Each structure stands twice: as C-alpha cells, then as structure tokens.
Structure 1
Amino acid sequence: MRGDHIRRIRCVGGLVRDERDRLLLIRRGREPGAGLWSIPGGKVEPGESDPEALTREVAEETGLAVVVGDLVGTVERPAPDGLFEIHDYRCTVTGGDLSPGDDADAATWVDLAMFTTLDGRNALVAGLSETLAGWGELPR
C-alpha cells in the first residue's frame, strides 16, 4: 500500500431503536473488535447499495428486519489493510425476532445507563461512545 493511496473499505452501521428509545447493540464474535459491543453493520459487498447491505447485515447479526432511513454520519476507523469508511444510518424495525447470528455472539437493547456501564468497562468498540454523543444519538 503506497502512503498516498490508502485502501478504503465501505461499511455501513445501523442505529436501530426500540419503542423505549433503547439502542440495539451487538457483541462482536470475530475481529475486528471481538468481544466488544457495537452497532450492527458490516462491509458493503460489490453491487450492493448501502440500504441493501445494511438490511442484510442487521438481519444476519440480529434476526431483525429493518427499513433503512436517513444517513446520520460517517466515521473512519483503522482496518488491517486500510481504512473502514463507515456510513451510519437510522433504521426502523419492521419484523423478526432478536437473536444473535453471523459474527455477533450477543444482541441486546441498551438504555443510557447500560450504555454508560459498557463504556466505563471499555466494552464498546473504540470511538463508539464519542461518535454517538457527538451526533446526539446516545440511547435514552
């Protein structure tokens, strides 16, 4: 990889909330971030739009069907072979039953107290708390 040309890997993440305004988090079962909590999401496959990729990823990781809404923001995180360029969208649940799958080994709804506890234990992926706070998207 040349220093002036960094490989960018397009990814998507879903800010999914329940009727109590809790945020959906998954615990990653594989690297990067194995054992840490994050929002559901993953890589956009060739030929997929962001909404298609996010709908697929949320279903694979949580068992839930969602409709993808507005783009909330974009962040960059280090990747083993470049940079993850992550586009985070609001999502609305339309069906399914919450059950972890694919590379998630747990999935749960968290309120602000639980989110703060996870953050205090360094159990969230790097930068998640700061990013969501900056966007005004912390759970309630």
Structure 2
Amino acid sequence: MTESQQNDGRLYPAHPTVAVSAIIFKEERVLMIKRSKEPNKGKWSIPGGGIELGETLDQAVKREVREECSIEIEVERVFYTTENIIRDDDGRVKYHYVLVDMLAKYAGGETKAQSDAEECRWVTAEELSELDITPRLRAVLERALI
C-alpha cells in the first residue's frame, strides 16, 4: 500500500465513501470508461467519483465527468442508489462505497480520457455485452436502457 493510498481514505476506510456516477446518453449510445485505478482497474465502468465537501450530487457528477472525460453533461435525475463493499482476503473492508447513479445527457465537448479513465468510449446497448464490467453495473445499465 502506497502512502497516497493510505492517505486518500478510500482504501481501508473508517467510514463509507459517498460517490456519484453518470449514465450519459448521446443519441443511441452510452459513455463508458476503462478504469485506470483500483477498485476494478481495467474494467469498464461509467464516469464518476467521490463527492467533495459542500458539493451537491449534480455538481459532483458534472465535475467528475469533466475530470475523467472532458465533456459537459445535463443531469436529468437520480436513477439508482446502491452500495459496493469489497473485502480483502482476511475479511476486512478494503473499499466501501455508497453509489448514486445519475441519468444524464451529453451537453458538449470532445470526449477525451483523463484522470481515472484509461479510455472513453460511446457504445450501443449491443456493444455493452462485449465489455468487461461488473455484474452490479451490468444490471444498472440494463435497467437504464429499457
């Protein structure tokens, strides 16, 4: 464990981290990112991250999308709320997130991977089946695409 991992509070946390993410639509496609950091490094996900002190849900998700994908979005509404608890081999809580998934529309900018995103890609519902994503996210996206 690096010093930055110890100090950011997400790895082996004292309390859950509240995070937001965006299911962003542009025409018939949804924006996916390939994660460059743990948890789930190398898996495909939707853009998002932790809420900073004093931010609203809308402000946080707009900032995270801008930081990870360089685009602007129009937030529509809260879509789904869940939690993700990842334990280590000894059963200790390694990560604990309360996740608020928001529905949003693309509002402008050129999609470019930055920050926690190794790659950004607009995909169709059919192309989602080819991506390595977590079962939780797959279930959420299936609900959003109905």
TM-score, normalised by the number of residues in structure 1: 0.83
Q: Does 1:7 align with 2:15?
A: yes
1:104 to 117, 127, 130: 117
Indicate the residue corresponding to 2:140 in structure 1: 131
Aligned residue-pair number: 127
Structure 1 residue ranges, 4+ long, deviating more than 6 angstroms after superposition: none
Indicate the residue corresponding to 1:16 in structure 2: 24
- SS state of the match for residue 17, structure 1? strand
Identity score, percent = 30
- SS state of the match for residue 107, structure 1? strand
Q: Is the 8 A contact 1:7 1:81 kept in 2?
A: no
Report the AA paired with residue 120 of structure 2. Answer: A
- SS state of the match for residue 132, structure 1? helix
Report the AA paired with residue 138 of structure 2. Answer: S
**Runs of 5+ unmatched residues, structure 2:** 1-13, 87-92
Deviates more, 1:101-110 or 1:82-91: 82-91
Indicate the residue corresponding to 1:35 in structure 2: 42
Q: Is the 8 A contact 1:22 1:109 kept in 2?
A: yes
Q: Deviations over 1:48-98 (max 9, x none)?
A: 111111000001111111121111010110155552001011112221100
Hey, what's the Cα distance between the residues in 2 that align with 1:82 and 1:59? 24
Q: Does 1:55 align with 2:55?
A: no
**Runs of 5+ unmatched residues, structure 1:** 1-5
Q: How does 1:82-121 map to 2 (within 5 A)?
A: 83-118=96-131
Q: Is the 8 A contact 2:80 2:140 kept in 1?
A: no
Q: CA RMSD in A?
A: 1.7
Q: Deviations over 1:15-69 (max 9, x none)?
A: 10111x2110000001111100001100001111111110000011111111211
